Structure formats: C-alpha cells, structure tokens
Amino acid sequence: MSIIHPTARSGWLLCTGLLTLALPSPALGQDQFEDELPITSPPTADEEETTQTVAENAIAQSNDAFGRQVGSERTGLYSSREVRGFNPVDAGNVRLEALYYDQVTGLSPRLSSSSTIRVGIATLGYAFPAPTGLVDYGLRKASFGRSLTVDVSRRERGHEGLGYDLRLSGIAPGLGLFSGGYYRASQSDDSSRAHRANVGFLLSYDPRPETEVLAFASVGGVRDDEAKPSIFVAGEALPPEIERFRFLGQDWADNESNTLDGGLIVRAPLGPNLRLESGAFFSGKRDLSRFSDLMTGVTADGTIAERAIVASPSSLDRSFSGELRLVQQFSLLGHTQQLSASLRGRDRLRTFGGSQRISLGAGSLFVHDQRPEPTFAFRDTSRDKVRQLFAGLAWSGALTRFLRFDLGASAIDYTKTVDYAAADTPDVATGARPIAWNGSLALALTGRLTLFGALARGMEEADVAPDRAVNRAEAPAAINTRQEELVVRYDPDDAVTLLLGAFRISKPYYNLDTALRYRLLGTVVNEGLEFSAIARPIAGMTLLGGAVLSDPSLSGEAVNEGLIGTRPVSQPKVRMTGNFDWRLDQGTSPFSFDFTLDHKGARPVNALGTLMVGAETTLDLGMRYRFTLGDAEMVLRVRGENVLNAYGWNVSSSGALSYISARTVQFQLYAEF
C-alpha cells in the first residue's frame, strides 16, 4: 500500500489513502441508506452499555479507531483532550447523552459508561456537530438487573485502587439506581503521589415506552497531589535522560481540589412523531491549593538556570449548561426526515490570578533540591464570566434511497466579562453574535461504496494561558473555527471496510510570545489524511488500527517577523495506532489476549521549530482471565504498559517537557455478584 502526504493549502484534497478494515457503519445500509432516521443519535449496537462491568473492553467495543474510552481503558488515535491537534473539551465541544454539556472536570469513569470521539462520517445523523470534533459521553444505568461489582487494582511502585459499581433495577416500577465510586492512592512516573476519590449516583425512571428520566450527581476530590516539574530547555538541545521514578519536586507543593457534577435528562414523546430531548447540567471544580514547578533554561548536561514555584490561591471554575431540543419526524417525497429545534446555553464563572511566583534559584536535574516551604502572600483573584446561548435548527433526511444530508445552523449570542482584581488593570467586556452552520452529504455510489463530505463553521473557546505565561490562567475570548472534510468508504463484504478521509481545519493560534505573554500570534491550519481500521474476522477477535498524517502550519504577523516558526509547538505530523483483542474458542474461552502499539512522530519543542523531540513507539500487552468463585463472576486483568521501556518526552503546547511513562505492570481483579 502507499501513502502520499497531502500538500499544504491547495492540495489537501488531492490524496490517496491507506486501505483499512472496518465493520459497516450502522448509519449506512448495505444496499441503500436506511429510510428510517433515529429521533436522536443513540449509541450503536457496539456502543451500548454492556450488561456487566466485568465485560467492558475498549478494543472490542470500538466502532472505529478515532477514540473510545470504556471504564478506565482507552483506545484509538484521539482522546477527550486531543482531536486533530486540538482540545475539544477546552473548546466546548462536549456532549453528554448526545446533549450539550459544558464540562469543567472530567466525568468519573464510574459514572460514565464510555466516551466516543465523533469526527468524519461518525457525525452523520448527529445534530449540530462541531468543526474540530466532539466528545460524546454516555452514562451508566441500572437497566440490567441487580448486581454489585467490586474491583481492586495494584500497579508497580505504589499504586493501589479500590472501586465498586452497584446496579439496582426495579426498586420501584420503572425506577432503577446505579452507584459507582473509587479510591486510588497513585504514584506517577516521577514518584509524585496523589490520593483521589469519587462517588456518583444515577436514578433512572422509565414510566412508559420511549420515556426516560435520568438524574445524576458525582462528587470527588484530590489530596496531596505533588506538583510535577515541567522542564523548559535553553537553546536547541534536549535535556539528558534522567532516571525515572525519581521525585524532583517539592514535598510541600501539593495540589488539592474538590469536584461536583450533576444533571437531569428528560426524553419523552409529546405527540405523533414529536419528541422532547432535554438536559440541564452542572459541572464545577474548586482548587483548594495549586502549584506549578517550572524548571527553565535547562541545558543538555542537566543544569537548571532557574527553578520557580508558582503558587495560586483557592479558585473556582463552575458552569451551568444544558439543551432543550424538540425533534419532529415527517415524510417528504416518500423518505423520512427529521427536524430538530434546539436551545442550548451555558453560564460559566471562573476565578483566576492572585498567584505568587517564588524563585528557587539554579539547580540540577540530577539533584533532589528540597527547599523549606515559604510563606505565601496571595493577591485577590480576578473573575471571568461567560454567557452563551445557541438557538439552532437542524434538518437530517434522505432525498433518495442513495443520498442523505445533514444541515444545521445556530445563532450564537456570546458575552464575556473579565473583572480584574488589580485596580490599575481595566476590566474587559467582549461579545459576538456569529452564525454557526454545518452541512454534509452522504452518497451511496453503489451498495457498498459511500462518499461523505462536510463543511462546518463554528465558535469555540480558546485555551487558557499556561502557568509559564506572565498572564497565566487568562482566557481569550471565543474564536471562530472552520473545517472541511471528505471521506470515502468501501465495504467489500459485511466484515471488511476500506476507509479514506481528508480534513482541513483553520482557527486562530494563541501561544507565548518572546515576552512570555499568551496572546494571538496568527492562524493555525491543520490539513491531513485520517484513517480508521476495524475488523472482526472470527468470533471473539477484533483488529483495530488507524493513522493520521497531518500538516499543521502557522501563518501571520508573528511568523513573518520570525518570532515563531511555521509549525505549532508539540503537534506531530504522524500518529498511528494498532490494537488486537482475541478471546479464544470463538469468544467463549475464559482467556483473552490484547496488545496496543502506538506511534507518535517528531514534534517541535520551541516556538521557532528548531528543536524537535524524536518519534516514539510504545507497546502495551494485556490479558484477561474470566472465572467464577461461588456466586461471583470474576475477571483478572493484567496489563503491561510500555513493555519495551521506550524513553521519550511529552511536549505541552507551551513547550514544557516531561518524560513518558516507563515500563510498568498493572493488576486488576473484578468480582461481580
């Protein structure tokens, strides 16, 4: 097979692709499109919640290689924090049970049954997709009888965990209860420690068919989370390889926080072919203490020119959000159509600033330089408030047996006010009223060959200024984004699919300038090819793979003046993943084996792009053994991560370095009663 990288600007659609294997999409029929459209965009058969926590398997339950998390395990090219080079959570592109949700903190994996990345053809039939992709969370429910699952985990070098899932269906007619929680005492690769706990509850009420009410709440906390040092290099040389599992931080620099999430979802028919879909959500986090450990001017021999601790006072980040959607189905020219009227909104309040920077002087990466805890003198915090309303219409339908379309438009009313605590800093008030829109066409050229194309324009939040910035924690006003994509899909039979996609995303680029101020520096355009592969050649076996070949580039005044290069910091041009899961004996054996092979290409470390981190490849191996013990169904899960013990560097968008995880083995034991 051959791969031709897309040329910049004009040639992004002129490309050939990787032939890949996948299962047929539930959205597409084998001989034509389905005439009946779903009222919403529910999970597909493989995405629905499994009947037992012990049966959860991220690889086996994936429909593509773009990204899926099931329980505590994740697979695919993308995650909730990185899709096509951008962060969908920070951009505000999150859905909960297919409804608009402004996420402040990550949902507990005990309350969330799964998360799915929706890009490309996976957005077909999905109302109001976002230009840079969506993260769609599902909730666990007590829909499958009564059970209690308890799990314990142990990882090398001081990581222990305990969790539970409780399902009680039928506690009253149509009423069910799910509860899940965990406690983890963890130790990171640099030997920094943390204690995390969370407990959540979900009540589900199904009084009659097609009616569902979900009410949930989750509370959690982090204590003694020791700040991990971030390395910023001097010149154009990487730091030396330093010993992993060796703590270099300050014992007193502990991050602590509390989180609270909750919501109410109502789905109900209102009349013939008319349906209500609604959700109201709260997501909040209070940082009780927050520290950043910055090692700047680090040279190739491990010398640190200056080490500084940035300590921040207690801060709050909370959001009320939700969506009210009416969905009407009707027939046009003999084909089912679906019209959705939606009102979405959020009210977000964030406090920031007031931090203190404490210089610890020079140091070395090879010396644990422990300093006495200083006395802090915090300043008052500033307030950042955002209110945003979306009023939109979406139309999804079929024009013929072979042609399907999605159209949508939303009028946005956005206001942002920043009330600075410093009297000499003027307050800021901004607003915008853009129109976001999307359109896509899916054409079944034959019974097994489909062409999909989409255009989208939207409005998203920009990332918050990093801790190294002189204006740390400030958030710019929302930015306009745009995307074009094209996908070709071919299904030679029911078990094999060949897939090729191309995309182009454009949005304003914010990062640090030479004075370390976080500001608008230009425009970033990411063009690329995107591939997904999945096959189940025999019962019990899943093959999953994918690749992204992209060409992220920068343009604008800062590039013209030579202040930054033409590539954004930390973004690779190549990303590939391969996964394999096999349960023996046609899926009936107690044993199953799996592996994950991930490859990430070279990435720029500095703004000029003159220093690169090399490509890295990691291999994970795992197995499951299922057995019974009395009345309990048991699963022993063993997973070895980075078994080849590759050494490499993670790179943040601000250029901070930290080494990747070393080889480690984790044991988990599940018991379901």
Give the DSSP letter of residue 98. Answer: T
Give phi and psi for 90, each to the nearest 5: -65, -30
Give me the mean pLDDT over the 268-289 stretch: 95
- Distance CA(96)–CA(263), nearest Å, equals 10
Note whether residue 9 is domain-resident. no
Distances in Å between the Cα of 545 and the Cα atoms of 16, 64, 219, 506, 534 are: 18, 8, 36, 27, 6
Q: What is the structure's pLDDT at 296?
A: 94
Q: Mind listing the pLDDT tens digit for each residue in 196-208?
A: 999 999 999 998 8
Q: What is the structure's pLDDT at 423?
A: 87
Q: How many CB atoms lie within 10 A of CB 462?
A: 19
* 234 close to 299: Cβ distance less than 8 angstroms: yes
Q: What is the structure's pLDDT at 6?
A: 35
Q: Which of 43-57, 229-243, 517-531, 543-557 has the lowest mean pLDDT?
A: 43-57
- Distance CA(653)–CA(81), nearest Å, equals 12
Is the pLDDT higher at 7 or at 571?
A: 571
Q: How confident is the model at residue 122 (pLDDT cuts 50, 70, 90)?
A: confident
Q: Mind listing the pLDDT tens digit for each residue in 123-137?
A: 888 889 988 888 999
User: What single string gives the DSSP state of each residue in 601-644?
Assistant: --EE-STTS-SEEPPEEEEEEEEEEEEEETTEEEEEEEEEESTT
Q: What is the structure's pLDDT at 13?
A: 32
- Sequence letter at residue 652: S
- Distance CA(577)–CA(597), nearest Å, equals 6
Q: Mind listing the pLDDT tens digit for each residue in 455-481?
A: 999 999 888 899 889 898 888 888 999
Note whether residue 27 is domain-resident. no
Helix (H) or strand (E) holding 179: strand 175-187
Give me the mean pLDDT over the 72-96 stretch: 87
Q: How many domains, the chain? A: 1
* Token output for 9: 């600007």
pLDDT at 380 over 60: yes
Would you state the torsion angle of the CA atoms of residues 155, 156, 158, 164, taken in this order, to the nearest 10 degrees? 10
- Distance CA(515)–CA(538), nearest Å, equals 58
pLDDT at 39 over 80: no
Q: Domain with 528 in it: what CATH number?
A: 2.40.170.20
Note whether residue 28 is domain-resident. no
Note whether residue 35 is domain-resident. no
- Distance CA(456)–CA(534), nearest Å, equals 27
* Token output for 66: 């773009």
Q: Mind listing the pLDDT tens digit for each residue in 288-313?
A: 999 999 999 999 999 999 999 999 99
Q: How many CB atoms lie within 10 A of CB 176?
A: 22
Mean pLDDT highest for which of 121-125, 126-130, 143-147, 402-406?
402-406
Note whether residue 25 is domain-resident. no
User: 493: Cβ–Cβ under 8 A, 6 or more apart, which residues?
Assistant: none
Q: How many CB atoms lie within 10 A of CB 373?
A: 12
Q: How confident is the model at residue 53 (pLDDT cuts 50, 70, 90)?
A: low
Q: What is the structure's pLDDT at 494?
A: 80
Q: Which residue has the tokens 């500084």?
A: 308
Q: What is the structure's pLDDT at 62?
A: 82
Helix (H) or strand (E) holding 560: helix 557-560
Q: What is the structure's pLDDT at 49?
A: 42
Note whether residue 361 is domain-resident. yes
Q: How confident is the model at residue 613 (pLDDT cuts 50, 70, 90)?
A: very high
Note whether residue 5 is domain-resident. no
pLDDT at 236 over 50: yes
Give me the mean pLDDT over the 364-393 stretch: 92
Give the DSSP letter of residue 584. Answer: H
Q: How many CB atoms lie within 10 A of CB 208?
A: 9
> Which spans in 44-119 are helix H?
88-91
Q: How confident is the model at residue 572 (pLDDT cuts 50, 70, 90)?
A: very high
Q: How confident is the model at residue 52 (pLDDT cuts 50, 70, 90)?
A: low
Q: What is the structure's pLDDT at 33?
A: 54
Q: What is the structure's pLDDT at 652?
A: 92
CA atoms within 13 A on the CB side of 595: 9
* Token output for 488: 């070709």
The chain-wide mean pLDDT, for the chain, equals 87
pLDDT at 366 over 50: yes
Give me the mean pLDDT over the 642-665 stretch: 90
Partners of 576 in the β-ladder: 547, 599
Q: What is the structure's pLDDT at 144?
A: 65
Give me the mean pLDDT over the 221-248 stretch: 89
For residue 340, give its domain range: 41-155+195-672
In the chain, the percentage of residues whose pLDDT exceeds 70 is: 91
- Distance CA(171)–CA(176), nearest Å, equals 6
pLDDT at 8 over 80: no
Give phi and psi for 6, each to the nearest 5: -70, 140
Note whether residue 321 is domain-resident. yes
